[in-house]
Structure 1
Amino acid sequence: MESSHRIDVHHHIIPEPYLKALRDAGVDEPIKGVAYPQWDLDTDLAVMDRNGIQASIVSITAPGMGFTSGPDAVRAARATNEYMAELIERHPGRYGGFAVLPLPDVAATLAEIQYAVGTLGLDGVGLFTHYNGTYLGEAEFDAVIDCIAELDTVAFVHPTVPPASDQPSFGLPPSLYEFPFETTRMLASLLYHGTLDRRPDLKLIAPHAGGAAPYLAKRLTYAVTINPTLAAREPADLLGSLRSVYFDTAMSANPHTLAGLGSFTDTTHILFGTDYPFMPESTTVETVAGVDEFFSDDNVRRQVERDNALALFPALAERVAAFAGTAAAADR
């Protein structure tokens, strides 16, 4: 396998347009308890090169546009998405992008999805598990889910801080353990509000190996057993719907987590992800080693590290192929 072949689907950027929006809003701690990293393009490419990452699909992590609202949120999302498009144009074989959206403003979000995916050509959209306490399965967001599915694009759903203001923290950052539970809450919301039954064509990535959802998958089927009045909300095939989701390896490339994930879903639905730079390069090194060790079969490992992502993102696959062809011609 070529030395630089991995496709990282969980890779964050913190570009100047986004930083400016944070500064303008007076935000000095974007994610509670999290040391906010610095990001620059040259360092990012160097980290990718050192770890055999051919291309990264970049996204904005929490709080997304949750620190602002109205026209300011729309402007900041547009400026950030245009930055992503410019990044891809300058480095077409190295980057893809998930658009940041001005939710919970649904009308503005629908317009931004059309612009970001249809006009800018971004590879998908970035969502968060909830917006002001409303999770993605709620009817308020049906139009957004429908738009994503009808455009045949991909939704990357990143966890965020739980909405409860009195949630105990034990003096620890919520990203440490609450983020996996947030992903589980979001998936339960989609399942029991009928979203995944209604939109079986939805392409969705649940990061960090799906949080606790693969581990709790069978337990999630017992809602009607516990409370028969929930029968009308029971998913037609909960386990099948959950297996239609894609999962990434960010912060999860260890034998315990991957064994659970691999026992639940097919390897065609596992994607390579690092969570850089919110997790440092040392964690990227761990992720590469953990994936290499666990997926000992070369063909399966190539699926996880590369082929699954290229199949899910055909436009990125075309850019990567064109870039490789240009590089080969230059070598000759």
Structure 2
Amino acid sequence: MTDAQNLPVNVNADGIQTGSPWVDAIDVHHHIIPEFYVSELRRMGATAVLGGVDRPAWSVTDSLEMMDRQGIRAAVVNLWPGVPPTDRASAVAFARRLNEHLAEFVAAGDGRFGAFAVLPFPYIDDCVAELAFAIDVLGLDGIGMLTNYGGLYVGDRLVEPVLAEAAVRRTPVFIHPGVPPSTGQPTFGLPLPLYEFPFETVRLAAQLLYNGTLARFPDLPLILPHGGGGVSYYADRLTCGPVINAELAARLPDDPIAALRGLYFDVAMCGGQAAASLRSFVDADHILVGSDHPFMPESFSAANGHGVAQRCAFSAAEWATVNRGNAERLFPRLRRKER
């Protein structure tokens, strides 16, 4: 290990440290909010943001300027929340339109962008077909999902054909938290992402573990954002199922902690104590850069990066791995050509 002060930092022409500590980084948690998408969501009775959450301004210029200031060479973008609940034909058509837009966006980005494709959930056969088209024909870099679609969680056996199709290609799957399906639950006048999003990711991790998904697809790269929510903190507790109910022993992998450590985690919004928990739980080769741009302000993302550097005490080699090595392994398009 090395002291965080010895890690490389971005400096301006006068040698003054600026922005975040990322160097030549690849950001895997980067939202885009095209105006046509916002308009179409509104027409379909949905929104690009949740209640109580400010909608940020976004443009491709804003993304690129933020990336340049923050030492981010490339970003794998996503369209959150993807396709809203609608009929099958509309969902399939909208997913195709969004994926074709993403392919055009990537092609125009001069090597600065990759993209996670959108799928027409909850129509599983159509999701499988769209995944194959998005990866094999459009050349997108991964699949973006929500933790649940109207109560159908990604770890459910009904969703397994989609994961199996991704696993054949070893296509990375980025699973962003969504709103839990419960109704009538008190919100305390607070926006749900503030506290429910981390819980959603833990819910999904528990399901992936006990449904055997992680055991059946050990080589499928699954990326959990926000440091995995609370997964690193709750990992030991999640293994206690057989202690609570002996019948759960048959549903747990032989080494459940190793199974959870096989997940990938981006560091968006976890530069405080959560970073130390994540670092103690998982090796550097499963940690990825995430800014959560533009939903989190650039100043916050920069401070978050410094928090990760200070609390994780990566060696210089590990820091390079977190900044770009892991993402280059998952997203070959974004490898530097000279490497």
TM over 0.5: yes
Instruction: Please state whether the residue corresponding to 2:75 is helix, strand or coil.
Output: strand
Which amino acid counterpart does residue 302 of structure 1 have in structure 2?
A
**2:32 matches 1:13:** yes
Aligned-residue offset at 1:300:
1.7
**Stretch of structure 1 that moved more, 181-190 or 130-139:** 130-139
Which amino acid counterpart does residue 273 of structure 1 have in structure 2?
G
Distance 1:110 1:296, change over 3 A: closer
Distance 1:109 1:179 in 2: 24
TM-score by length of 2: 0.89
Aligned-residue offset at 1:12:
0.4
**2:75 matches 1:75:** no
1:158 corresponds, among 154, 158, 176, to: 176
Equivalent residue runs for 1:197-208 within 5 Å: 197-208=215-226
Equivalent residue runs for 1:223-302 within 5 Å: 223-254=241-272, 256-294=273-311, 295=313, 297-302=315-320
Gaps of 5+ in 1: 326-332
Would the aligned equivalents of 1:9 and 1:271 in 2 still touch at CA under 8 Å? yes
Residue matched to 1:136: 154
Question: Which digits, 9 at most, give the CA deviation of each residue in 1:64-100, with x for residues without a partner?
Answer: 2134332222222111111111111111321010011
Would the aligned equivalents of 1:155 and 1:205 in 2 still touch at CA under 8 Å? yes
Would the aligned equivalents of 1:197 and 1:241 in 2 still touch at CA under 8 Å? yes
Would the aligned equivalents of 1:51 and 1:288 in 2 still touch at CA under 8 Å? no
Looking at both structures, which has the greater relative contact order when contacts are Cα pairs under 8 Å and sequence separation is at least 6? 2
Residue matched to 1:112: 130
Would the aligned equivalents of 2:46 and 2:84 in 1 still touch at CA under 8 Å? no
**2:318 matches 1:321:** no
Gaps of 5+ in 2: 1-7, 11-22
Distance 1:183 1:304, change over 3 A: same
Aligned-residue offset at 1:116:
0.8
Instruction: Please state whether the residue corresponding to 1:98 is helix, strand or coil.
Output: strand
Q: Which has the higher helix share?
A: 1
Distance 1:72 1:249 in 2: 34
Would the aligned equivalents of 2:41 and 2:84 in 1 still touch at CA under 8 Å? no
Question: Which digits, 9 at most, give the CA deviation of each residue in 1:136-193, with x for residues without a partner?
Answer: 1211101011011111110000000111012221110110011001000011111101
Distance 1:307 1:136 in 2: 27
User: What is the number of residues matched between the two proteins?
Assistant: 319
Would the aligned equivalents of 1:123 and 1:316 in 2 still touch at CA under 8 Å? no
**2:200 matches 1:188:** no
